A and B are shown apart, each in its own frame.
Chain A
Amino acid sequence: MTELQRVTVTVNGSARSATVAPRRSLADFLRDDLALTGTHLGCEHGICGACTVLVDGVAMRSCILYAVQVDGAEVTTVEGLSPDGTTLSPLQDAFVACHGLQCGFCTPGMLIAATALLRENPAPTEAEIRDELGGNLCRCTGYQQIVESVQLAARRLAER
């Protein structure tokens, strides 16, 4: 067994540590070591996008990052999107309003991807939304309501 390494990551604003093998993916670190099971794992090789999280504010696949690589970084997961831990973010609210999910498996990755998009581009076109979310697979919705959810969130955020 390879030597374990201490990893400390600021997750959703709190410093969290665990001692892990270098091969521990960031996704498994979040789910198994920190019990943050909102981040989902689909393909585990960077294709499906379900495990997308923000690392230092940038959307990345947590299944092809290893926890040891992000030691010292700030990570935001779907659990960190709520403004106060109980209410939904405007984007999450829009997913509810537009039926932007069915089974919900891809939703954490979709929400993180769309959060990153709206921070950078508060008024994305449909094409820009589809391009940004193009790396996130959904097998239920046909994507239409997901796009509409992001559009609704963008409109509501602009009105605030």
Chain B
Amino acid sequence: MKPVDFRYVRPRTLDDALGELARANGEAKVIAGGQSLGPLLNMRLARPALLVDVNALPGLDALDERTEDVRFGATVRQRDAERSATVARRLPLMRDALPFVGHVHTRNRGTVVGSIVHADPTAELPLVARCLDAVVEIVGPRGRREVPVADFYLGYLTTDLAPEELVVAVRFPAPTPAAGAVRATAFTEMARREGDFALVAAAAQLDVARDGRIVDARLGLAGIGGVPVRLCAGEELLRAAADPPRAFGAVVAAADAAIDPDGDLHATAAYRRSVAATLLGRVLETAWRRARAVPGRG
């Protein structure tokens, strides 16, 4: 349980960090919190020649609330996001998801951006990022580029990030709900042990208008394939429904038709499918109940 030998650098400028990555010929790994990378290193599943620690890079520890979005620098800790009034107010779905991420002590060190870039298909924050249309900000030898999370995830632990590139931030669009609408969210997951990797996770965000119709819906599942999945057909059914709760069954059926889970030693494909349907039903019910519990609604 000891990593293979590696070199370690903690550059103080972005240019130095990019220089280290470029010179490493694809043999480097970036480390921020290291709460996913550390176990992979210790088990020798990852064998980089070089670790580039981004914790000393200036400005990456900022969590910025802006008019259109909330921007997380690459070293913002999960625990700081969990305690942030900005996150609670602007990104309630992330607030709901964060307590499911590892344990308190791993959230103390682990970063929001690191979890998103690590791209574990069962992880909570990539699912939240997918549901909220987050945008990944990348720097590399040819300058800056931005990639929507929908295009960033290519497959199991695989992203659009090149070895000589670095993610400096992830932006989460956080528009205010349409006039008169209330936003309610819910997140849940099933794991063998609390804090462990989820078998399946489900997320829902519903913007409910005064007349009880859903004007914006964000639904997603993780753990049912190599990347987090957005349930667009179900979202459309919700927006079209005159009485949304009566559509929940059809939404779950649409999700079941849209997903193609893999079986592995933790759970069969059929079991994951069953859990996904159950959890999706639960987050829909919970988010709806929360929306109707807002004073003056329901």
Interface-central residue, B1, B102, B104, B195, by most chain A CB under 10 Å: B104
What is the size category of the interface that chain B forms with chain A? 20 to 34
A59 touches B108 (CB 8 A): yes
Distance of A69 Cα from B6 Cα, bound (Å): 13
Q: How far is the CA of A61 from the CA of B228 in the complex (A)?
A: 28
Collect the chain A residues with CB atoms within 8 Å of residue B177's CB.
none
Of A78-86, A92-100, A128-136, the one touching chain B: A128-136
Contact status A45-B39, CB under 8 Å: yes
Query: A87 near B: Cβ within 8 Å?
Result: no
Judge whether A131 and B5 touch: CB under 8 Å: no
Known: A25-B42, A46-B38, A64-B35. 18 other contacts (CB 8 A): A2-B5, A2-B6, A3-B7, A23-B6, A25-B2, A45-B39, A58-B109, A59-B105, A61-B109, A63-B42, A65-B34, A66-B34, A69-B8, A69-B10, A69-B53, A69-B55, A113-B105, A131-B104
Where the two chains meet, the residues of B that have a C-beta atom closer than 8 Å to any C-beta of A are 1-8, 10, 31, 34-35, 38-39, 41-43, 51, 53, 55, 102-106, 108-109, 194-195
Q: 6 closest Cβ contacts across the A-B interface?
A: A135-B103, A64-B38, A22-B8, A44-B1, A45-B39, A23-B3
Offer 28 A-B interface pairs, CB within 8 angstroms, sorted by A. Answer: A2-B5, A2-B7, A3-B7, A22-B8, A23-B6, A28-B2, A45-B43, A47-B39, A49-B105, A59-B104, A60-B105, A60-B108, A61-B106, A64-B34, A66-B8, A66-B34, A66-B38, A66-B51, A69-B8, A69-B53, A69-B55, A131-B104, A134-B104, A134-B194, A135-B102, A135-B103, A135-B104, A135-B105
